[in-house]
Structure 1
Amino acid sequence: MREFHRRLGKVEAVVAATFLLIMVGLIFFAGIARLMAMPQNWTIDFATCLFAWACFLCADIAWRRDGLMSIDLFTERLSDKSKRVLKHVNYVLICAFLGYIIYAGLWVSWVSRARAFQGIPWISYSWISMSLPVGAFFLLLTTLIKIADDLKSGGQPVAKEG
């Protein structure tokens, strides 16, 4: 499972980077086309779709590397045991929230399957809304692995993925 998660992280990084590069290229192309008096409005909409996917993939990459923002002003004054309990409470809350996001995102994707994205008939709104449950699933998987690692290590720091 950990090997799968590690490889998934590498794929996520490549896909997210590719989406960001395509997004920048589309926006640049739109600017050049507008400058030439031939606006291509669909490019901004397509870049928005790629941005949604890249955001959720990058969120998981940051969560894997403990790169998300945190404030430890209160927690640094707690005992080690209290810190660990609070960490697990946070993990449970995160799992519950992500579980709800997966459910709600799948529901939104299902009910919006016939809707066109920004009037582009060949892109269903479900392609954009699926970024939410897919991203939440990856975040949930990472959270469960973090929980397993913490339980296995007995609260000692674990080497982070690269």
Structure 2
Amino acid sequence: MLRALGRTEAVLAAVLLVAMAVLIFVGGVARMVRHPLNWTTDFATCFFAWAAFLAADVAWRRDSLLSIDVIAGRLEAPARRWLRLVNLVLICFFLIYVIWAGTRLAILSSARSFQGIPWISYSWVTMSLPVGATLLLLTTGTKIVALLREARSDDPSEGRRG
């Protein structure tokens, strides 16, 4: 199921980025022929917000985010695992806060129209924050579970029980 979610996220992020580029191009051409379409930039901004959070989760899921291992690289494997676990737990706390604050922001902005378009709520943009953070939290949780399983399988006392 998580693999299907990852593929769906990647496809949706790519579609949103392509749609964003197309909207910006169409808006530029329309402006050039003296028929500006101001809404194209607004929708491109909305698509960018969603694509950014989806792509962040895709990169996090694939371990493709930038990391600096100056300290961790010098530690023994058990200490390195503990440091990684502490980092992942801190990330979880941060993401939980982002979910809470982003949901609150989306609720507060529900009455606001998106860039003056009365039939679209600004919440469609702000919901990208808690939705993206929820996906990142799910990915972080799977990383914690995998790390704990790895630590358990490497534990030499595990085989001596019995």
TM-score for both structures, normalised by structure 2: 0.91
CA distance in 2, matches of 1:67, 1:56: 14
2:49 matched to which residue of 1? 52
Shift of 1:60: 0.2
Higher-Rg structure is: 2
Pairing 1:29–2:26 present: yes
Cα RMSD between the aligned structures? 1.1
1:159 matched to which residue of 2? none
Aligned sequence identity (%): 57
Retained in 2: the 8 A contact 1:84–1:155?
no
Pairing 1:117–2:114 present: yes
Correspondent of 1:14 among 11, 14, 25 = 11
Unmatched segments (≥5 aa) in structure 1: 157-162
Cα distance per residue 1:57-108 (max 9 Å; x no partner) = 0000000000001111121111212111110000110000000100111110
Shift of 1:155: 7.5
Unmatched segments (≥5 aa) in structure 2: 154-162
Correspondent of 2:147 among 128, 143, 150 = 150
- Counterpart code for 2:46: C
- Counterpart code for 1:80: A
CA distance in 1, matches of 2:66, 2:116: 36
- Counterpart code for 2:103: L
2:94 matched to which residue of 1? 97
With over 3 angstroms needed to count, the CA separation of the structure-2 counterparts of 1:64 and 1:34, relative to structure 1, is same
Retained in 1: the 8 A contact 2:81–2:151?
no
1:131 matched to which residue of 2? 128
